[in-house]
Amino acid sequence: MTQGIPRLDWPRREALPTEVAKALVEHFFISRALSPGDRLPSERALAESLGVGRGAVREALKSLGLLGLVEVRLGDGTYLSNPNGELLTRVIEWGLLLGERRVTDLVEARAVVEVDTARLAARRRSVDDLSDLQVLMSRMENAVGPGEYVDADIDFHLRIAQASGNSVLADVVRSIQSLLRVWIGRVIGSSDDWSATTREHDAIFQALREGDSAAAERAMASHIEQARDRLFRTFQEETASQPDASPDHQNPL
């Protein structure tokens, strides 16, 4: 049952329980080696398969249990939780928290796709596209809570993708909207001042309105770079605020 889980014999950049948790998430959730409700192998079997001590496995399972990804039944074992919208969001969020490489990959992918959609949208946007984007700008400016802001922010990016006139790029942006919602939600929810983010979106909108593809590219690239920096700062601040945080157990971001 544990066949296929990679042994943790690469150079480690993170605390060992985090590496173990990452391996378990990727094996059981992403590759779907088990179905929801299935029982996980024993701690001993997982430790032998991964090439680590049982203590690291126990700590990793504890973390996954706190996130709601697994259910520990005393005297019966550990089971994969049943999927729902909230759980899937936690899986994505846990993936973002597991290491700098994963976050960097998402940033790079988003930059490539969304910079191109902004460039194309500046050339191809219609009057209706601009009208819809103006409404979304107003929603961001007048949002009364993080949820409203995040919804408007996501819709803004999706609308630009639609305005690009490229259905493949638009599909890619739609396919990562859950990841974007986690990314944006973590940042917006950690601050009461969203003015910088709003200004970045306005710069993109102004470039689109002027039909300036080069300016739209620059504005989108700048926005994603600054959004990345805000995400990394959020991770660092959350890690530093943990009362038991130590250099060996902090997230490398």
Q: How far apart are the first and last CA of the chain?
A: 33
What residues make up the domain containing 40?
16-84
**Boundary residue ending a domain (39, 57, 84):** 84
pLDDT given at position 245: 41
Contacts by 67-76, CB closer than 8 A, 24 or more apart = 67/94, 69/25, 69/29, 69/94, 70/40
Identify whether 253 is part of a domain. Answer: no
Identify whether 10 is part of a domain. Answer: no
pLDDT given at position 73: 85
**Is the same domain home to 77 and 121?**
no
Residue 59 and residue 17 in contact, taking contact as beta carbons nearer than 8 Å:
yes
DSSP 41: P
Phi-psi region of 212 (alpha: psi -120 to 50; beta: other; left: phi over 0): beta
**Is the same domain home to 52 and 160?**
no
- The domain that holds 122 is classified in CATH as 1.20.120.530
**Is the same domain home to 187 and 105?**
yes
pLDDT given at position 219: 97
pLDDT given at position 37: 84
- Which pTM value belongs to this model? 0.62
222 three-class SS? helix
pLDDT given at position 88: 52
**Is the same domain home to 142 and 205?**
yes
- The domain that holds 77 is classified in CATH as 1.10.10.10
**Is the same domain home to 143 and 57?**
no
Identify whether 237 is part of a domain. Answer: yes
Contacts by 134-141, CB closer than 8 A, 24 or more apart = 134/205, 137/198, 137/201, 137/202, 137/205, 140/194, 140/197, 140/198, 140/201, 141/198
12 three-class SS? coil
Q: Which two tokens stand for residue 9?
A: 């014999």
Model confidence over 40-69: pLDDT tens digits? 999 999 999 888 999 889 888 887 776 667
Identify whether 1 is part of a domain. Answer: no
pLDDT beneath 50: ranges in the chain = 1-3, 8-14, 85, 242-253
DSSP letters of 237-248? HHHHHSTT--TT
**Is the same domain home to 116 and 225?**
yes
Q: How many domains does the structure of the chain reveal?
A: 2
pLDDT given at position 230: 86
pLDDT given at position 247: 39
Identify whether 252 is part of a domain. Answer: no
Model confidence over 6-36: pLDDT tens digits? 554 444 444 677 778 778 877 776 566 777 7
Instruction: List the beta bridge partners of residue 39.
Output: 79
pLDDT given at position 251: 36
